[in-house]
Amino acid sequence: MKFKLSEMALLAGASGFLVIWIAEYMRTTFADSYWLMMLMLGCLLAFQYLKNKRLEREKVISPTIKQMVDDRKNRQQQPAQSAKKARRKK
């Protein structure tokens, strides 16, 4: 899976904050280290948002699906065209 630089930075930041949070949690109380956990979650949510936004922009449809859609359009157009030709012949 390909990630952009900003996505990788957010993912690395989240993992770094997780490691620091675990170390800080062992040293102090949960309330004192809560802000590190929130930074980690913020990075994860930002990563997910950016990734979904990028995927929505790229939205690559597989060639087989494109081919199926084109075939359906052609089938729908063919009967309409043959009906027009039949009317013209009359």
Same domain (yes/no): 68, 33: no
Same domain (yes/no): 36, 64: no
Same domain (yes/no): 41, 65: no
Same domain (yes/no): 42, 68: no
Task: Count Cα neighbours of 90 within 13 Å in the Cβ-side half-sphere.
Answer: 5
The H-assigned helical ranges of the chain are 5-27, 30-58, 63-89
| Domain tally, the chain | 2
Q: Which of the four pLDDT bands, split at 50, 70 and 90, describes residue 3?
A: confident
Same domain (yes/no): 55, 85: no
Question: Which pLDDT tens digit goes with each residue over 21-61?
Answer: 999 999 999 999 999 999 999 999 999 999 999 888 877 66
| Residues of the domain holding 73 | 60-90
